[in-house]
Structure 1
Amino acid sequence: MNVQPASARLTSIDALRGLVMVIMTLDHTRDFFSDAHFKPTDLQQTNVALFLTRWITHFCAPVFVFLAGASAFLWFARKGRNAPISGFLLKRGLLLLLLTCTVEAWSWNFLNDFRQVDGGVLWAIGWSMIVLAGLAKLPVVIVGLIGLTIVAGHNALDGIRAQDLGGFAPWWAILHTGEDVALGNGWSINPYYPLLPWIGVIALGFGFGSWLQRNEPGTPFKLIAAGTGLTLLFIALRYANVYGDPDPWQVQTTPAFTLLSFLNCHKYPPSLLYLSMTLGPALILLGLLHQKSLHLQHPLLLFGRTPLFFYLIHLYVIHGLAVGLAAITGGPVREIAGGGIWSPNLPADYGYGLASVYAIWLVVVVLMLRLCRGFERLKTANPHWIWMNYL
């Protein structure tokens, strides 16, 4: 792999990553506090405000995985030609899988017995990094092209059903369709982030990182142009309803809900249109941030520099607040401790409206700001604690 000497870490990546993590916190706050016990994207039950509250958080996973790939290349470029990029990605991927089955599992469900592995975003990033550890041995252009091919082409496989594949069915569920996989004796995997498209996103991000680290003249304009082109591609393909998403949009009873149908793309697995709809505007924003000079302690930069710590801790903060509030108000403490609004025995009238959800979200963000600052100070004061570099 041929790389040029790397520049300092790009603050625009940290700022964008920090922004999507703040938005992600809104989604998880809604998960534990909302009085809407249904999918916010269900057009038969939702309203515009609730739909958009969920829709804006769709940006989080694609941007985070894409930037994980870009950051991996920037790490390699910064360390130099002989940097052990494959070993770095392999160890980090394995760590994320371990955290998925332990620390993250208990954060969602304080009563979890760990026999159900929820294959969410950490699961997807972990396996994607492990695959990228192998792909990184190839020329970076090839890695990027592999990623682009997967992202653009995986919807052509939508017609292949796991139940039609015999013994390969569990593997296809993990790779593309996302059905639960029973392992026996009460153990199971719920791979609701099927891996194939996410592998494509991280590989595409790795190739993107190669271009971004050169920081050529006109980079902000090129980022904005690329993001605009990708957004226009989404609009054109979505309007045509011919390829790129298994759920075609339909005319609804009002223009507003017709627009919501247009935006309501398939996330599990993420379709080509879902990824275009999210990564396009993200590239535009990255181009705008590329021109900004942010103070090193800006909250977005701080969150972007401590992503794994933020992710794991914010789940405990939100879940802990939800249990505490339920205890204070005489609410269903056991049900909230057992998984929030997904608990089957949660009272139908439990929860709070969107205004309250947004207020609690802001409280969580302020708490996370203080916690992340404390963590970064601890990390700076103890550079010999090598394990902290993985957080």
Structure 2
Amino acid sequence: MQIPSVYIHIPFCQQICHYCDFTKFFYNEKLADDYLSALEKEIKSYIPEKKIAPRTIFVGGGTPTALSKEQLKKLLIIIDRYHDIAACSEYTFEANPGDLDEEKVKLLKSFGVNRISLGVQVFDDMMLEKIGRLHKVKDVYTNIDRLLNAGLTNISIDLIYALPGQTVDQFEQTVDEALRFDLPHYSSYSLQIEPKTVFYQRYKKGKLSKPPEESEASMYELLQKKMMAKGKKQYEISNFAEPGFESKHNLTYWNNEYYFGFGAGAHGYLPGKRIVNIRPLPAYIKQAEENGRPVLHEEPISRREQIEEELFLGLRKTEGVELNNFEAKYGENFEQVYGGVLPYLKERQLIVVADNKIALTEKGRLLGNEVFQEFLLDEKDV
């Protein structure tokens, strides 16, 4: 079976951000060398013979561009060795502003990378320092200029809102500055205080708080309004793009399609199972070197779970879930499975069912988790 997408995790960072709960470690040259060797062993164990031709490749982290130029080139060679890059319509690298000197930009371009996702977060130097970021606002301008000059024009900016101490006016300034670049894609997420982060420890000690919920809602509504005014269509709860520049890789997730996940702590989704890799680097490297399968555990996915995830993920998209696709995929009439919850959600104006689709309303997007829990099924329902 053709697996449409590949995710590759590079867990190294020059500094650990206070909010981040992804698998990440301080950059160490020797450890990074060992990691790349182990990563290739893992990839080869799944792709042992000829190259595969995925629709999308996404290299995330951590910070892939925290690698040295030599290591970045080695990584690009490894990816090229097992994947038909010419057949890949979207090849994305995550990067931090300030990491991309001219040589790294040219290197990425020369190996076929055609999309860059920049972790900007906020256009405010004081706020960047408070959340543990190393870059400054000026670095965003420098790096975007370098990318554009190299012909890498498919650029996405990531922003975070509802940061500690952030006001609606401050977030508006960040959105306005981000939109001045007039890039084809923007993502913006509200801060989540996750366990095992610096912010979580401060929150537990009463030394950190988020803005009130009404301010967070105002920030989200402001974001939607300003993106729409600049021609960036909202196609998912947190993502906005010019037509044709939606993230094909992330749509793999939201369409509940299969993907490989390579690297420490990476998750993969293959027919009938989800695979979760070992997170600690020494253990990941040891297991990958021994047998190429540094798997922490495999989770079988039942039919019920597949259907639930189809709704949880699909409803994140503005266009929602196509009922014909649902029925073709699962052999079930949608209303027979979920007819019991639809009147309640419609009455609360959280969903709309029209044109053979079910989608969240504006109110439903603000209360997404409440909607999603209504689509949990009993085993007897399927």
TM-score bracket for the superposition, by shorter chain length: under 0.3
Larger proportion of strand: 2
Larger proportion of helix: 1
Higher relative contact order (CA 8 A, sep 6+): 1
TM-score calculated relative to the size of structure 1: 0.27
TM-score calculated relative to the size of structure 2: 0.27
